[in-house]
């Protein structure tokens, strides 16, 4: 009887300790600018979860700013802000510019630290003081990409076209990378950037690219395009249509744009390293570091990803030195 009682007491103590340990996990909210199905979001969320698992209790929210109107997405942001004020999490991770723009300063005003990722703009534009914030910057590899595309096309590229939707990231890219100018010259290549609202204009621009003297198209983001009725157009549809109908080779800046019936390749950014880097910063804060003592970082310098079918379609052979160990290549499909 005494032995049975001792076992019951031991189990009770173990359950209590387990429950206490779980209860003591800090609460971390992840607020995504976009929707859950967006490949960039899925990738950086996986990076966050893999590196915060067992160290924090995570809750995830989506503002859906690529598919909803600005007013609807801002309404979502206000609802999330109410949750932040009510729950008082230990830390909030905000992904991409829209979330930081809408919620960053208000969250810091509640005394809650902010870790951001995927930010294209200067974060001080949204936050002012960085007293309670740090994070991961996202820098599209435009200039380096163009230099590499020149080598891939054996210097046949005198003029290229960069296509974006008209979302926040596109506007920031125009401002920061292109200095607000629609035409620049990078690596001796005249480079134009076009920002578009509708799929109809996108199609017209792609179909006439060769006639306009462009020798390549580089896909930026294309996730806020709408049809003639104002309905959101699937990003898969846009990527597939562009690959199928473009009269010139199509390259990409982000890994999710590369693949069969998509862009043929490029020097790209990936979401997972962004989440991984942001989680490292979050863990430092959860262990007691002050956010203003942690410098923002850039997650990665890009990697080569190419579609086997895309290379074959355009009869492109990569230079042999692209296969050197210091520049690893990922082939898809």
pLDDT in tens, 321-331: 776 555 678 99
Q: Which domain holds residue 197?
A: 142-268+302-332
182 in the same domain as 249: yes
**Which residues, listed in sequence order, are joined to residue 62 by a DSSP beta bridge?**
32
198 in the same domain as 112: no
CA–CA separation, 265 vs 141, rounded Å?
13
Beta-carbon count within 10 A of 235 CB: 21
Q: Which residue has the higher pLDDT, 139 or 192?
A: 192
Quick one: pLDDT band at residue 142, thresholds 50, 70, 90? Answer: confident
237 in the same domain as 181: yes
pLDDT tens for 75-117 read: 999 999 999 999 999 999 999 999 999 999 999 999 999 999 9
172 in the same domain as 36: no
287 in the same domain as 175: no
pLDDT of residue 327: 61
| Mean of the per-residue pLDDT values of the chain | 90
276 in the same domain as 260: no
**Which residues, listed in sequence order, are joined to residue 217 by a DSSP beta bridge?**
161, 250
Under 8 Å CB-to-CB from 176, ≥6 apart: which residues?
A: 120, 121, 122
Are 163 and 206 in contact, with CB atoms under 8 Å apart? yes
94 in the same domain as 10: yes
pLDDT of residue 143: 85
CA–CA separation, 69 vs 66, rounded Å?
8
Are 235 and 229 in contact, with CB atoms under 8 Å apart? no
* 14 pLDDT higher than 80: no
**Which residues, listed in sequence order, are joined to residue 115 by a DSSP beta bridge?**
93, 134
CA–CA separation, 294 vs 314, rounded Å?
46
226 in the same domain as 108: no
Residue the block writes with tokens 């792609």: 206
306 in the same domain as 290: no
Percent of the chain with pLDDT over 70: 91
CA–CA separation, 17 vs 324, rounded Å?
52
257 in the same domain as 311: yes
Quick one: pLDDT band at residue 154, thresholds 50, 70, 90? Answer: confident
> Mean per-residue pLDDT for 200-214?
98
148 in the same domain as 45: no
CATH number at residue 231: 3.40.50.2300
pLDDT of residue 110: 97
323 in the same domain as 177: yes
pLDDT of residue 26: 97
Q: How many domains does the chain have?
A: 2
Under 8 Å CB-to-CB from 210, ≥6 apart: which residues?
A: 247, 248
């Amino acid at each position: 009887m005494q032995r049975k009682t001792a076992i019951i007491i031991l189990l009770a103590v173990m359950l209590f300790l387990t429950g206490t340990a779980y209860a003591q996990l800090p609460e971390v909210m992840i607020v995504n600018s976009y929707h859950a199905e967006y490949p960039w979001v899925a990738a950086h969320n996986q990076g966050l979860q893999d590196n915060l698992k067992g160290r924090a209790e995570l809750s995830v929210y989506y503002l859906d700013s690529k598919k909803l109107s600005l007013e609807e997405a801002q309404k979502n942001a206000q609802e999330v802000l109410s949750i932040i004020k009510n729950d008082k999490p230990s830390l909030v991770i905000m992904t991409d510019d829209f979330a930081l723009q809408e919620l960053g300063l208000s969250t810091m005003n509640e005394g809650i630290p902010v870790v951001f990722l995927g930010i294209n703009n200067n974060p001080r534009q949204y936050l002012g003081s960085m007293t309670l914030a740090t994070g991961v910057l996202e820098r599209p590899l435009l200039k380096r990409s163009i230099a590499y595309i020149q080598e891939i096309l054996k210097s046949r590229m005198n003029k290229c076209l960069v296509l974006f939707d008209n979302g926040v990231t596109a506007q920031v890219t125009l401002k920061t990378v292109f200095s607000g100018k629609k035409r620049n010259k990078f690596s001796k290549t005249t480079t134009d950037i076009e920002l578009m609202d509708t799929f109809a204009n996108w199609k017209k621009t792609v179909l006439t690219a060769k006639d306009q003297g462009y020798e390549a198209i580089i896909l930026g983001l294309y996730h806020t395009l709408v049809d003639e009725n104002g309905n959101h157009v699937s990003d898969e549809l846009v990527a597939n249509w562009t690959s199928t109908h473009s009269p010139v080779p199509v390259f990409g800046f982000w890994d999710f744009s590369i693949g069969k019936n998509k862009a043929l390749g490029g020097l790209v950014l990936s979401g997972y390293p962004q989440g991984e880097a942001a989680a490292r910063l979050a863990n430092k804060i959860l262990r007691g570091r002050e956010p203003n003592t942690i410098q923002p970082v850039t997650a990665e310098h890009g990697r080569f990803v190419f579609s086997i079918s895309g290379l074959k379609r355009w009869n492109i052979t990569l230079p042999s030195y692209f296969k050197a160990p210091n520049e690893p290549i990922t082939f898809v499909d």
